[in-house]
Structure 1
Amino acid sequence: MKKLLIVIVCLIQISAMSQQPIASNSIYVCPPCDNSCDDLKYKKSGKCHICNMELITKGELRNYQKPKEMTIAFYLQEGVEILDFAGPLEVFTVSGFKVFIVSKTTDPIVSQGVLKVIPDYSILNAPKADILAFFGGNGQVAAQDRSIINWIKKQEKSVDYLFSVCTGAFFLGQAGVLDNQTVTTFHMSIESLKQSFPKAKVLSNVRFVDNGKIITTAGISAGIDGALHLVEKIYGKERAKLTSIYMEYDKWVPGEGLILSKN
C-alpha cells in the first residue's frame, strides 16, 4: 500500500510538471522573416532549417527588432539594358529590399527595343530612397540630360549608397560623385569613362569596386555580383548566400570585387 501511495504521488508530481509552461529561454525560434518558419519552435540553439537564420530564444524574441527595410530607386532610361537592371532587381527583391522604378517621366520606356517598362515615379515626384541605382544601355547619352543630373545631385547627399551597373556609372560621373573615387564600368567603355571623368581612377578587369558609399560594377552579370555584395554589406553574408542559392547563381564569390571600404 505504501509503495502504491508513493507511485501515485510521483505520478501527480510528474503530471503537475508537465502542465507547467516551459521557460521561454529554453525554446528557440527563428527571428521573424515572413516565412513559414516564423511559427516553428526548436529545443536547442542553431540555425533555422528553412531560412538558415540564427535561432534566438523565445525570451529574446520580445525585444527583437526586424532590420530596416531598405528602399532602392532604380533609375531607368529609354534603351536601358534588360539584364543590367533585371539581375540586380531579382537580387534585391529576393533579399527583402523595396524597389521602385524612376525615370525622367512616368511615360513607358522601352528596353532594348522590346520590353516596355512603366515607371512608378518621375524625377519630379519620386520619394526618398536609401539607395539610388543606375544602369547601362544608352547610359552615356541619357547622362547628358541636366534635369536628371540635377535630380541626382539633390538626392546623393541623403542616400546611404549609390550603385551603378555598366555605363550607369556615367550618371554618377556627370553628377560629380566619381571625382577622386576608384571605379569601373563595362569593359568597352573603360576608356570613355577615363576621358570623361579624369579625376576618377577607372579600373578594368574588376567585377565591382566598393568605395564605401559608391559601388560601381562592370557589365550585366557583374551587376548581380555587385548587388549580392551590397546585400552582404547591409544584411550579412548569410542573406546574400541564401539569395544566390535561390537564384541558382553559383557564379557569386564573396569578396571577389575590389573592396576599398567595409563601411
Structure 2
Amino acid sequence: MKRIISIALFTMLTAFASAQTYVCPPCNGPSCDTLTFTQPGKCPHCGMKLIKKEEEIKKLNVCFYLYDGIEVLDFAGPLEVFSYAGCNISIVSKTTDPLRAQGVLKVLPTYSIENAPPADIFVTFGGNDDVAANDPEVIKWIQSRIPDTKYFMSVCTGAFILGKAGILDHKTVTTFHNSIENLRKALPNSTVLADKRFVEDGNVLTTAGISAGIDGALHLVEKLRGHDAAIQIAKQMEYDKWVPGEGLVVKK
C-alpha cells in the first residue's frame, strides 16, 4: 500500500514539475519577454537563465533626468543596461520641449517635472550640469522625490545635481576625474574620492565619467537582479571592461 502511494505521489509531483511554466527575466527584448517555456534552461535569444513564471520579477521604474547639453554616453550607456534588465525607463526634463545632447543629438523627453511618474531609481548625468544644478525649481522637485526613491545614482558631473539637492551630504562619492576638486569644494561635508569607477554609499551610487556609468548601472543590476543577470547584460553589450566588485561599496 505504501509503495502504491509513493508511486502515485511521485507521478503527481513529476506531472506538476512538467506543467511548470518558465520565462525569461524581463529584458525588454521583443523576442524574449512574450515567450514561455516548459523546461528550465537559458533563453535562446538573450542567454539569460529562465525562471519560473510565479517567480517573475517586478519591473523596476527608473527615472533619467536629462537637460540641454547633456553628455550622450553618460545616459545612453546606463539606458542600455537598465533596458536589458527589463526596467521601465522614464525620460524626464524640466519641460517636454526638445533638448540637445552635446549640441548634436535631439532628445524628446517623455515627461516634465510636472507629471513624471515615481521611480525606484533616480539618475542624473553630466555635461552642462549647471542647467539643472542651478535651477531652484528642479532641485526642489528632486528633493520632493527623496522619500519615495529607493536608489539615487549619478554619472560623471551629475553628482553636482544630487549634491545641490543635499542627497550627497555626509556621503562618500566620486565624479569625473577633472571635477574631483570642484566637487570637494561643493561638498565640504562629504568624502570625494578619485580613481574609483563608482562608489556605493547607502542608497546612493555615484560614478566617474562617461563610460563608468555603465559599470555603475551594471553594479545596481547585480545588486537588484543578481550576478548572472548583470553578467549576461555585459555580454550582450559586449562590454568586457566591467569587472564585478571593482568599485567601492562603503560599509557602515
Q: TM-score range by the shorter chain?
A: 0.7 to 0.9
8 Å contact kept, 1:30–1:37: no
Are positions 1:25 and 2:17 aligned together? yes
Are positions 1:41 and 2:38 aligned together? yes
Are positions 1:224 and 2:214 aligned together? yes
TM-score (norm 1): 0.83
| Deviation, structure 1 residue 38 | 4.2
Are positions 1:182 and 2:176 aligned together? no
| Deviation, structure 1 residue 156 | 1.3
Aligned length: 234
SS in 2 for 1:244: helix
8 Å contact kept, 2:43–2:50: no
Are positions 1:147 and 2:143 aligned together? no
| Deviation, structure 1 residue 40 | 3.2
Identity %: 50
Q: Which runs of 5+ in 1 are unaligned?
A: 1-19
- Residue 23 of structure 1 aligns with an amino acid whose one-letter code is A
| Deviation, structure 1 residue 39 | 3.5
Residues 86/52 of structure 1: CA separation in 2 closer, same or farther (3 Å cut): closer
**CA distance in 2: counterparts of 1:133 and 1:105, whole angstroms:** 17
Structure-1 residue corresponding to 2:115 = 125
Are positions 1:71 and 2:65 aligned together? no
Structure-1 residue corresponding to 2:147 = 157
Are positions 1:194 and 2:184 aligned together? yes
Q: Which runs of 5+ in 2 are unaligned?
A: 1-10, 27-31
TM-score (norm 2): 0.86
8 Å contact kept, 1:28–1:55: no
8 Å contact kept, 1:210–1:261: no
- Report the structure number with the largest CA radius of gyration: 1
Structure-2 residue corresponding to 1:254 = 244
**CA distance in 2: counterparts of 1:168 and 1:185, whole angstroms:** 8
Question: 1:32-78, CA deviations, whole angstroms, 9 ceiling, x for partnerless residues?
Answer: 54628943333xx6x4263341555xxxx5xx142111011100011
Are positions 1:101 and 2:97 aligned together? no
8 Å contact kept, 1:76–1:103: yes
Question: 1:166-199, CA deviations, whole angstroms, 9 ceiling, x for partnerless residues?
Answer: 0000111001111110000000000000001101
